[in-house]
Chain A
Amino acid sequence: MRRPRRRGVVTPLVAHSQEMDKERSPAQSSSRSAATISLTRTERTIIVSLWSKISTQVDVIGTKTLERLFSCYPQAKTYFPHFDLHTGSAQLRAHGSRVLAAVGDAEKSIDNVTSALSKLSELHAYVLRVDPVNFKFLSHCLLVTLASHFPADFTADAHAAWDKFLSIVSGVLTEKYR
């Protein structure tokens, strides 16, 4: 049973992570490699190139991705009881931008996504505890949104590269769950 979250209350991450580290063996506490998936040079080029276009529309793409997520997979809404999730909501737009900004951070450090997203990884593991299945749903919705915004660029190779990249990001965000 998930502990109910109170709006606006976020438990300090440091205290949590120290507590969790005590439960792990020393070998586990030290930095672990994230996903075993690695990107080829071609895939990196594709990802970086499409990101340069995405970065000019981060707000729209972030918002549309979340709208799709909440329409197609309503169970994802359970993590946002404190949000107004109606179309046009300012909170939806702000959160969509935040999600895309994190994807951007991962893209900037594409060779070390683990390090770039380590704070977010802790947030998801110790505070938010989003069930991992939702990352697949979110990734799907982002890929569909990218396809609709960049039809000419979203070739099968681009689709494959981005699916792989988002798998890596999702892997990093869930790697500290257990």
Chain B
Amino acid sequence: MVLAPADRAAVLALWRKLGTNVGIYTTEALERTFVAFPSSKTYFLHLNLSPGSAQVTAHGQKVADALSLAVNHLDDLPGTLSYLRELHTHKLRVDPVFFKLLCHCLLVTLARHYPGDFSPNMHASLVKFLNHVISALAPSSG
């Protein structure tokens, strides 16, 4: 699966704008996921999940780094993210539905912070990009 040029350009442009703040938004996305979809907390029983937790922030940064890596390697997401796929499917055993929930919360977060940039076209490009990432992390989830 390859991202179309227009979608690629849109995602890259937005990521440039997010700069070093990606971690802030992925952390907020995680916090929203825990509030709106509490069953997701089951994968984080070893963390302090209270609002503002440093552990959630640290995890948010890990997610941000992975997404930024994906953005810079759009030509080979499965290869680039293979170590994460191994981790999430064989070790963590995350139900792929949670990737979709986290992506939904990330989109809501970005829409909140960048309403002017978050047109329907940008939204669509991000949905496609995140779907590619989810496919790379959990190939059987479709």
Bind each other = yes
Taking the nearest CB of chain A, how far is it from the CB of B99, in angstroms? 14
A161's nearest neighbour on chain B, judged by CB, is: B36
List of A residues within 8 angstroms of B72 by Cβ: none
Interface centre among A73, A87, A144, A157 (most CB of B within 10 A): A144
Asked if A169 is an interface residue, CB under 8 A from chain B, the answer is no
The total of chain B residues at the interface (CB under 8 A) is 20
List of B residues within 8 angstroms of A143 by Cβ: 104, 108
> A residues 131-178 with Cβ under 8 Å of B?
140-141, 143-145, 147-149, 151, 154, 156-157, 159-160, 163
Q: Bound complex: CA of A177 vs CA of B81, how far in Å?
A: 40
Interface contact B120-A159, CB-CB below 8 Å = no
> B residues 73-109 with Cβ under 8 Å of A?
104-105, 107-109
Chain A interface SS verdict (over half): helix
Asked if B112 is an interface residue, CB under 8 A from chain A, the answer is yes
Which of the 9-residue segments A8-16, A64-72, A109-117 touches chain B? Answer: A64-72
Asked if B32 is an interface residue, CB under 8 A from chain A, the answer is yes
What is the count of residue pairs linking A and B with beta-carbon distances less than 8 angstroms? 57
Partner of B121, one of A64, A71, A160: A71
Interface contact B108-A67, CB-CB below 8 Å = no
Interface contact B123-A160, CB-CB below 8 Å = no
List of A residues within 8 angstroms of B123 by Cβ: 68, 71-72, 141, 144
Interface contact B35-A144, CB-CB below 8 Å = no
Taking the nearest CB of chain B, how far is it from the CB of A145, in angstroms? 8
Partner of B35, one of A70, A148, A159: A159
Interface contact B120-A72, CB-CB below 8 Å = yes
Interface contact B127-A72, CB-CB below 8 Å = yes
Asked if B124 is an interface residue, CB under 8 A from chain A, the answer is yes
> A residues 78-92 with Cβ under 8 Å of B?
87
Asked if B118 is an interface residue, CB under 8 A from chain A, the answer is yes
B35's nearest neighbour on chain A, judged by CB, is: A156
Partner of A159, one of B108, B118, B121: B108
Interface readout for B106-129 with A: 1 if CB under 8 Å, 0 if not? 011101110100101101100100
Interface readout for B11-49 with A: 1 if CB under 8 Å, 0 if not? 000000000000000001001100110000000000000
Not counting A67-B120, A144-B118, A147-B112, a sample of 8 additional A-B residue pairs whose C-beta atoms are within 8 angstroms of each other reads A71-B120, A144-B111, A147-B109, A148-B111, A148-B118, A156-B31, A159-B32, A159-B36
Selected A-B contacts with CB under 8 Å, 14 pairs: A64-B120, A68-B123, A68-B124, A71-B120, A71-B123, A71-B124, A143-B104, A144-B118, A147-B111, A147-B112, A156-B28, A156-B32, A159-B32, A159-B105
Chain B positions near chain A (C-beta within 8 angstroms):
28, 31-32, 35-36, 104-105, 107-109, 111-113, 115, 118, 120-121, 123-124, 127
The 5 closest A-B pairs by CB, nearest first: A148-B115, A160-B36, A71-B124, A71-B120, A148-B111
